[in-house]
Amino acid sequence: MAWRTPLAVVPRACFPPEVAIHVVRLACERPDTLGRSLSQWDCAELARQLIAAELVEDISVATVRRILASHQLKPWRHHLWLYPKHPRDAAFYATVSELIDLYTRPLRADEMVLSVDEKTSLQPRCRLHPTQPAQPGNIPTRHEHEYKRGGALNLFAAFDTRSGQVFGQCYPRKRQQEFMTFLEQLDREIEPHVKTVHIVCDNVSTHHGKEVRKWVAKHARFVFHFTPVHCSWMNQVEQWFSILQRKRLRIADFESKEHLQAKLSQFICEWNQHAHPFNWSTKSVAKVMAKAPAIAA
């Protein structure tokens, strides 16, 4: 049996230098700038472009792949990136530091920290035919492609950063009124001995509008902390939402909004039976803060 050398360790000297230069230079340019209607390059398109531009007489897709691998280039991959409209200045890092301290410091017996946000536009998507479970013989779970629309719900959720317990409630809309109703629910369910409830949430008007500010003024034990703009990673409930999406909402197959709401409530109850917090240690967040000068620059 012939053993193949892994692409990543193929020495660059195996390729004519001028060919490798052309491949790498082309891979590092956007196709649009060369008049091609492509969002990204792949190996076949790079080979086709090199030949069309008469940079080489002929080149195989495999050769392009090996050259790219030797230079650790993957132009077909992409990552989302956001140029910060709001400066990452001293005030930004002061807010981040405050939230990190809130997540990691020992809490008094009479205080708790809740990460709060909404998962919006959750649709029942009733399938035209029942979803089929997995079967022996490598047959995966199958669900009907077509579905009926049945409106949408908004899940308001609060994640206890120390215990991992989740408070949640669904509403048809996402406004200040629904947010205050959810806060009322938290006020009822949280034990009276907890005198300070820290609420971590983002800066949307739903969370700090005029009516909400009036409500907070009458409920002294609720203290709000707002994450910086475009800083959702600072809100721990987002991590829980990703678990919810993966375990319960990946296959959206519910008979109605009422059925969806019941299943979301059941998921929260089952989660709370074995709830766990997310490990935001001072060591791990120090790695984030260590990047502050580089990000600010």
Q: Is residue 241 part of a domain?
A: yes
Specify whether 266 is located in the same domain as 211: yes
Q: Strand 111-122 and strand 126-127: pairing? A: unpaired
Specify whether 186 is located in the same domain as 66: no
Q: Is residue 81 part of a domain?
A: no
Q: What is the pLDDT of residue 66?
A: 93
Specify whether 169 is located in the same domain as 232: yes
- Tens digits of residue pLDDT in 204-248: 999 999 999 999 999 999 999 999 887 888 899 999 999 999 999
Instruction: Identify the weakest region by mean pLDDT among 132-146, 167-181, 237-251.
Output: 132-146
In 3D, which of 258, 233, 235, 121 has the Cα closest to residue 224?
Answer: 235
Confidence of residue 286 (pLDDT cuts 50, 70, 90): low
Q: What is Dmax (Cα atoms) for the chain?
A: 79
- Helix ranges (DSSP H) in the chain: 17-27, 43-52, 61-70, 90-104, 176-189, 205-208, 210-218, 237-244, 257-273, 282-290, 292-296
The count of structural domains within the chain is: 2
Specify whether 106 is located in the same domain as 48: no
Confidence of residue 85 (pLDDT cuts 50, 70, 90): low
The pLDDT of residue 257 is above 70? yes
The pLDDT of residue 2 is above 60? no
pTM of the model: 0.76
Specify whether 38 is located in the same domain as 113: no
Rg (CA), the chain: 26
Specify whether 59 is located in the same domain as 192: no
Q: What is the pLDDT of residue 278?
A: 92
Residues 6+ apart with CB under 8 A from 159: 114, 115, 116, 165, 166, 236, 237, 239, 240
| DSSP structure string for 128-147 | SSPPBPPBTTTBPPB--S-E
What's the rounded mean pLDDT across residues 257-273? 96
Mean pLDDT value across the chain? 87
Q: Is residue 11 part of a domain?
A: yes
Specify whether 173 is located in the same domain as 259: yes
Q: Is residue 83 part of a domain?
A: no
Q: Tokens standing for 106?
A: 């020992």
Q: What is the pLDDT of residue 173?
A: 95
Q: Is residue 123 part of a domain?
A: yes
Specify whether 53 is located in the same domain as 98: no
Highest-scoring range by mean pLDDT, 56-70, 123-137, 158-172: 158-172
Confidence of residue 289 (pLDDT cuts 50, 70, 90): low
The pLDDT of residue 5 is above 60? no
- Residues spanned by the domain of 61: 7-70
The pLDDT of residue 12 is above 80? no
Q: How far apart are CA 247 and CA 245, in angstroms?
A: 6
Q: Which long-range contacts (CB under 8 A, 24 or more apart) does 267-273 make?
A: 268/157, 268/166, 268/167, 268/168, 271/166, 271/240, 271/243, 272/165, 272/166
Q: What is the pLDDT of residue 148?
A: 83
The pLDDT of residue 113 is above 50? yes
What's the rounded mean pLDDT across residues 266-282? 91
The residues pairing with 222 across neighbouring beta strands, listed in sequence order, are 197
What's the rounded mean pLDDT across residues 173-197? 97
Give percent of the chain above pLDDT 70.
87
Q: What is the pLDDT of residue 216?
A: 96
Q: Is residue 268 part of a domain?
A: yes
Q: Is residue 229 part of a domain?
A: yes
φ/ψ region of 110 (left if φ > 0, alpha if ψ in -120 to 50, else beta) reads alpha
Specify whether 30 is located in the same domain as 120: no
